[in-house]
Structure 1
Amino acid sequence: MAEIEKKEQQNASFAANYIDETIKADSDSRVKAFVKKFLKRKTAVLGLIIILLLVVIAIIGPSIAPYDYNEYDYMNVLTGPTPEHIFGTDHYGRDIFSRMLVGARLTLGVSLSAVVIGAALGTVLGLMAGYYGGVIEMLVMRGSDVLFSFPDILLAIAIVAILGPGIINVLIAVMVFTVPSFARIMRSATLAVKSSLYVEVAKSLGCKDSRLLFVHIFPGTIQSLIVNFTMRIGSAIMAAASLSFLGFGANVTEPEWGAMLSQGRSYIGIASHMVYFPGLAIFVTVLAFNLFGDGLRDTLDPKIK
């Protein structure tokens, strides 16, 4: 009897390993086809190049900044672009180019962190809602409906108004309105994937729910997750910059692009460069993520050749 049980366990382990290897081989072939198809979309490739450049700037920006980002120079207040200050200076004489280099890390860091945390929470909630159904599904979906009933920026303003101004609270506000979109997308994707044959086989072999959710079901839903993730980063950057522009985010000493834009609006008539460069940086960054997201969506859509 013990030998029969041991043999059954070996067969179950072999079947599970075979399923995992089959999924891995299929994934490798899909990755190659995806890369080939993606590279044909020039605007998406351009967006990816800009994103990579921004990431590099965010990493090395503080070390290559020609001036201290918070160095006051009252002898050069509100000067336009010059060879010494290629983006000009602000109302405190601080070098705008240096502040933008340092601010890239803060601006991208807050937005990316908010989307990553929101995506993680929304993904877990969506997986559980789609897999278990019942009360869990009802709570997740009704909660998402409530949050979706408010425009993103108004919900973020309400949250920051309650928590108070500050970068961390901006991150929390952006994260909160990010969660529902991931929860609903993952719930729908989970409902479609959980009835697949390989999931049914894994379930019949006695796989635990955690393994079913994150090893067998989650990889089948990641396509929808990636597209929504890239799209949401652009929205998060706009929301975080808007909150800082309204005075809920970074303070005057922090070189966040939205806060720099807010400071420059009072001097737009005499020092328009204070507005142009931060505004252009936000525009290009959001555009890059949107182009990249559109390219991912079109590449992953089997209906588009």
Structure 2
Amino acid sequence: MSDNSQAMGAGSPLAAEATAPERQKGRFKQFFRKFCKQRMAVVAACFIILLFIVGLIGPFLTPYNPEEPNYDVLMAGPSAKHWAGTDEYGRDILSRLMDGTRLTLAVSLSAVLIAAVLGTILGLLSGYYGGWLDRLIMRGSDVLFSFPDLLLAIGIVAILGPGSTNVVIAVAVFGTPSFARIIRSVTLSAKETLFVEAAKSMGAKDSRIIWRHIFPETVSSIIVNVSMRIGSAILAAASLSFLGMGAKASEPDWGAMLSMGRDYLSIAPHIVYFPGLTIFLTVLAFNLVGDGLRDALDPKMKN
């Protein structure tokens, strides 16, 4: 047998490297098959994809200018021309909902991604090093957990001032402890595994162990928690806008549209119904996708 044939033997490192892409491809197929078995999650994922498409190209697809008033059709109900009716200024509600999708998704995704990055770093450090650093991070998380999420966000925005940027900061602050606690739990389990112990015995640096060996074990938990937190972030951002602490009233934000339409609930309920229904369906879709990802990524789930 030649040297090359021996090098590519079943137990050689080269053979392991050669089969690594195949293993990754197999894992992805297994995940995709599990996820597709959950019909509600698939339908919710399609709805979310549609939302992202609308968020990207929605301003070019709106049937009317979302900012242009039309005083000839003030608070008109749903019709063939205005599928969701018009608001108190005669603006097409469907156009405003489509235009506001980009703002809503941008605020919620930014907040959740910031919380995921901060929470992951804190959770990895807390779980790996332990000691006084673990106690400091966890006690700080307990303090934030002691406040209801929305109440904490209101307090932060009250200090920083209203605006979409401050809403992102507020939502990110109350979302960070959730990521930190979940990632800490995964880190505590991962650092006791044999491959981490082997890396330590070989003199690997802590930073390499954390990011090359432990962090990959947390990715599935991060993905699931991100998908679950986006719905909460959308609801929190809409609530802050509804209270006048988020986006400006003139912006096509879903929460701001609810706030402006509540004064006309008795005479034109459609002004409130359609933004409220959009928020409900969006939050529900992200929660369903989160459940589907959790079940598909959980190795304990049966095929």
TM exceeding 0.5 = yes
Indicate which of 33, 42, 50 corresponds to 1:53.
50
2:222 to 200, 225, 233: 225
Q: Give 1:26 shift.
A: 4.5
Q: Which residue of 2 aligns with 1:279?
A: 276
Which of 210-219 and 170-179 deviates more? 210-219
User: Which stretch has the larger CA shift, 271-280 or 192-201?
Assistant: 192-201
Change over 3 Å in CA distance of 1:257–1:16 after alignment to 2: farther
Q: State the Cα deviation string for residues 213-233 of structure 1 (Å, max 9, x = none).
A: 122111111122111111111
Other-structure match for 2:9 = none
Aligned to 2:296: 299
Cα distance in structure 2, aligned partners of 1:240 and 1:21: 47
Counting only pairs closer than 5 Å after superposition, residues 213-292 of structure 1 correspond to structure 2 as: 213-292=210-289
Aligned partner (choices 115, 121, 125) of residue 112 of structure 2? 115
1:85 match: secondary structure = coil
Post-superposition CA distance 1:32-73 (Å, at most 9, x none)? 211111111111111111111111111110111122211122
Deviation at 1:209, TM superposition (A): 2.3
> Does residue 146 of the first structure (1) align with residue 132 of the second (2)?
no
- Aligned counterparts of 1:107 and 1:297: Cα–Cα separation in 2: 24
SS at match of 2:90: coil
Are 1:187 and 2:184 an aligned pair?
A: yes
1:167 corresponds in structure 2 to 164
Tell me if structure 2 keeps the 8 A contact 1:43–1:291.
yes
- CA offset digits 1:224-257 (Å, max 9, x no partner): 2111111111111111111111111111211000
Q: Is the 8 A contact 1:16 1:202 kept in 2?
A: no
Deviation at 1:18, TM superposition (A): 9.2
Quote the residue 2:38 is aligned against. 41
- CA distance in 2 between counterparts of 1:18 and 1:221 reads 27
My pick for the range that moved more, 229-238 or 292-301, is 292-301
Q: Percent identity?
A: 61
Match of 2:8 in 1: none
Unaligned runs of at least 5 residues, structure 2: 1-11
Q: Which runs of 5+ in 1 are unaligned?
A: 1-14
The answer to which of 263-272 and 25-34 deviates more is 25-34
Is the aligned partner of 1:74 residue 2:71?
yes
Preserved contact between residue 48 and residue 288 of structure 1 (Cα < 8 Å): yes
Do the aligned partners of 1:174 and 1:236 also contact (CA within 8 Å) in 2?
yes
Question: For residues 99-131 of structure 1, what are the alpha-carbon distances to aligned partners after superposition, in whole Å with 9 as ceiling and x for unaligned?
Answer: 111100001110011000100000001001111
Q: 8 Å contact 1:67–1:98 — kept in the other structure?
A: yes
Deviation of the 1:163 alpha carbon: 1.1
Q: Which residue of 1 aligns with 2:132?
A: 135
- Cα deviation per residue 1:168-205 (whole Å; 9 max; x = unaligned)? 11111111000000000001100100121222222333
- 1:236-279: CA deviation from partner (whole Å, max 9, x where unpaired): 11111111111111112110001101111110111111011101
**TM-score (norm. length: structure 1):** 0.90
Deviation of 1:17 (Å): 9.3
Matching residue within 101, 123, 130 for 1:104: 101
Deviation at 1:167, TM superposition (A): 0.8
